[in-house]
Amino acid sequence: MIIAVIAAVVALFAGLAIGYVIYYYLPRARLHSAEDRAEKVLLEAEAKGKEILLVAKDEALSIRAEGEAENKERRAEAQRQDRRLQQKEESLDRRSESLERRERNLTTKEQDLDEAKDKLEVLKAEQARVLEQIASLPREEARQLLMAQVEGEVKSDIERRVRDLESEAKLESERRAHKIIGLAIQRCAADVVAETTVSVVNLPNEEMKGRIIGREGRNIRALEAATGIDLIIDDTPEAVILSGFDPVRREVARVALTKLIADGRIHPARIEEVVAKARQEVDVAIREAGERAAFDAGVHSLHPDLVKLMGRMKYRTSYGQNVLNHSIEVSILCAAMAAEVGADVYVCKEAGLLHDIGKAVDHEIEGPHALIGADICKRLGKSAKIVHAIAAHHSDEEPQTVEAFIVAAGDAISAARPGARRETVSTYIKRLEALEEIANSFPGVERSFAIQAGRELRIAVKPEEVDDLCSIRVARDVAKRIEENLDYPGQIKVMVIREKRVVEIAR
């Protein structure tokens, strides 16, 4: 029991001691710990403040340096501007002084000119008075005489200048034209084609003529009725001539007659059957010819009706020249020339291919083939440029575009090259006579000669009536008259010859 009490007392004192320690020493320890932490925070804050202050000072120094550099640059720019303004002011001052000097010089020159003008008027009046006294002519008559003399001299100078200018322009235009046309012709290596407009069918023997005629002529009548073509059976050995205006019908008749001769069975029923088959074959050949022509010319997406009309031109000739081959050749020439002068190549190519499309139906429709072809192309949706170029290639319309002139030139080149076309003797003679008649109608012309198949006209003038300068005017006027009054392929060279002969006899 006593032990227990003692233990309790000891425990009480121990508890009091512990409580005293806790009460007295623990807050102080915490206080010391807080003070330490506060000191650490203060030290860190001071360190950070110093660091921030250093950074701020550095930034302030850099900003100050930048500001000073910028101010320095601005001061330098201001100085440069001042120098420029000063230079401009000096330049303006110099110009002003120069203008003032010029103005003073001009004023002086004007005064001199006025004085010279007054002196000239006095001299002219004195000269006129003296001339009137010497020539015994009134002033007006003398003036007219002087004007006539001056007019003659000026006219001579003008004609000489015109001659020089024409010579220069002619040389340049000929050089350029030769280059363009030469390149176009080099790129187009077309065959020279000359065909007749009458088809001839060869026979194996003379007995075949009687079989073709038939009993009382029924076979030949049936063949002519089925084809619309006249058969000419004459004394020509082993040959039958097919005559007709429509080349397609003539081709159908030729194919049908060839098949009948090869088969040997010739009677009206068989003739109608063979003609129908021949017509189908010719239609196929026409379509293939049109497609091949479009492919050769490089023209695509054509209307089927245009392709068919082009194929019909395979059997059409103009002055002995195959129209389809001529159209392909014109298309190639036009494309080459258009590429050289910078025109629309495809328009020229397509218009050149279709320019003679009207010849496929010109025996069925009245009017010029150029206008017929233009109307067909317009109805089938071709562009206005192509339609105009087709209509204007023979001057049925006035050419308004570069492409129209190119198509007309391509058509003339293809038709005018040697061997392309044939002329009848009467047409040839009429053209030569027309050329000579135009030349002989001018005053001062002694005689004229059309040579080189009408490609050149040589004119001999009277030397006492036409001088060297007037001969230039005669050549130009004759060429202009030919252009206005005649239609001709290619070009005609006009040459004026002035010859003066002096003959003396030694006795």
Q: What is the pLDDT of residues 253-293, one digit of tens each?
A: 888 888 888 888 888 888 888 888 988 988 888 888 888 88
Looking only at the bridges linking them, the beta strands covering 317-318 and 321-322 are antiparallel
DSSP state of 302: -
Domain shared by 277 and 307, yes or no: no
Write down the pLDDT at residue 307: 87
Which CA distances in Å does 25 have to 19, 22, 36, 150, 460?
10, 6, 17, 143, 152
Question: What CA–CA distance (Å, rounded) separates 507 from 336?
Answer: 68
Domain shared by 432 and 317, yes or no: no
Write down the pLDDT at residue 195: 42
Q: Would you say residue 162 has pLDDT above 50?
A: yes
**Domain assignment of residue 170, yes or no:** no
Q: Would you say residue 319 has pLDDT above 80?
A: no
> Average of pLDDT values for 317-345?
84
Our CA angle for 90, 96, 97, nearest 5°, is 90
Q: Residue 240 belongs to a domain with what CATH number?
A: 3.30.1370.10
Q: Which residues, including other chains, have CB under 8 Å from residue 241's CB and lie 6 or more apart?
A: 198, 199, 200, 201, 231, 232, 233, 234
Write down the pLDDT at residue 320: 63
> Average of pLDDT values for 15-31?
63
Residue ending a domain, choose from 93, 123, 155: 155
Which of 7-16, 89-98, 355-364 is predicted with the least confidence, judged by mean pLDDT? 7-16
More confident position, 350 or 506: 350
**Domain assignment of residue 100, yes or no:** no
Q: How long a stretch of residues is the chain?
A: 507
Residue ending a domain, choose from 260, 289, 318: 289
Domain shared by 305 and 391, yes or no: yes
Domain shared by 417 and 311, yes or no: yes
pLDDT band at 316 (very low <50, low <70, confident <90, very high): confident
Q: Which residues, including other chains, have CB under 8 Å from residue 65's CB and lie 6 or more apart?
A: none
Write down the pLDDT at residue 111: 86
Question: What CA–CA distance (Å, rounded) separates 225 from 444?
Answer: 63
**Paired tokens of 167:** 């010579």
Question: What CA–CA distance (Å, rounded) separates 180 from 172?
Answer: 12
Write down the pLDDT at residue 191: 46
Which of 33-42, 244-253, 383-392, 448-457 is predicted with the least confidence, judged by mean pLDDT? 33-42
> Average of pLDDT values for 38-45?
80
Domain shared by 416 and 441, yes or no: no
**Domain assignment of residue 175, yes or no:** no
Question: What CA–CA distance (Å, rounded) separates 319 from 195?
Answer: 9
Q: Would you say residue 34 has pLDDT above 80?
A: no
Instruction: Tell me the one-letter amino acid at 260.
Output: L
Q: Would you say residue 15 has pLDDT above 80?
A: no
More confident position, 478 or 142: 478
Question: What CA–CA distance (Å, rounded) separates 327 from 324?
Answer: 5
DSSP helix/strand/coil, 448: strand
Domain shared by 321 and 417, yes or no: yes
Write down the pLDDT at residue 336: 87
Going by C-alpha positions, the residue among 337, 372, 335, 373 that lies closest to residue 355 is 373
Average pLDDT, the chain: 80
Write down the pLDDT at residue 30: 63
Q: Would you say residue 67 has pLDDT above 60?
A: yes
Domain shared by 267 and 210, yes or no: yes
Which CA distances in Å does 346 have to 57, 114, 392?
79, 66, 17
Q: Residue 392 belongs to a domain with what CATH number?
A: 1.10.3210.10
Which of 154-168, 373-387, 453-467 is predicted with the least confidence, judged by mean pLDDT? 154-168
**Domain assignment of residue 50, yes or no:** no
> Average of pLDDT values for 179-196?
54
**Domain assignment of residue 362, yes or no:** yes
pLDDT band at 464 (very low <50, low <70, confident <90, very high): confident
Question: What CA–CA distance (Å, rounded) separates 128 from 142?
Answer: 9
Write down the pLDDT at residue 25: 55
Neighbours of 100 (CB within 10 A): 10
Going by C-alpha positions, the residue among 217, 314, 327 that lies closest to residue 271 is 217
Q: Would you say residue 194 has pLDDT above 50?
A: no
**Domain assignment of residue 88, yes or no:** no
Range of the domain at 442: 426-498
Q: Would you say residue 346 has pLDDT above 80?
A: yes
Which of 70-74, 111-115, 183-187, 427-431 is predicted with the least confidence, judged by mean pLDDT? 183-187
Domain shared by 430 and 415, yes or no: no
Which CA distances in Å does 108 have to 97, 111, 117, 120, 175?
16, 5, 14, 18, 52
Domain shared by 306 and 400, yes or no: yes
Domain shared by 209 and 264, yes or no: yes
Write down the pLDDT at residue 127: 74
DSSP state of 191: P
Which CA distances in Å does 148 have to 143, 151, 155?
9, 5, 10
> Average of pLDDT values for 325-346?
88
More confident position, 479 or 189: 479
Matching residue, tokens 């009948």: 260
Write down the pLDDT at residue 325: 86
Q: Residue 473 belongs to a domain with what CATH number?
A: 3.30.300.20
**What total number of domains does the chain contain?**
4
Question: What CA–CA distance (Å, rounded) separates 312 from 288?
Answer: 10
Write down the pLDDT at residue 459: 92
Write down the pLDDT at residue 167: 74
**Domain assignment of residue 342, yes or no:** yes
Q: Would you say residue 192 has pLDDT above 50?
A: no
pTM of the model: 0.48
Question: What CA–CA distance (Å, rounded) separates 217 from 228?
Answer: 16
Question: What CA–CA distance (Å, rounded) separates 152 from 192?
Answer: 54
Tell me which H or E stretch contains 427.
helix 425-440
Domain shared by 417 and 431, yes or no: no
**Domain assignment of residue 25, yes or no:** no
Which of 72-76, 231-235, 299-303, 435-439 is predicted with the least confidence, judged by mean pLDDT? 231-235
| Residues above pLDDT 70, as percent of the chain | 83
Residue ending a domain, choose from 289, 308, 338: 289
Question: What CA–CA distance (Å, rounded) separates 290 from 311?
Answer: 4
| Mean pLDDT comparison of 20-34, 118-132, 289-303, highest-scoring range | 289-303
More confident position, 250 or 168: 250
| Residues above pLDDT 90, as percent of the chain | 4
Question: What CA–CA distance (Å, rounded) separates 282 from 284?
Answer: 5
Domain shared by 308 and 412, yes or no: yes
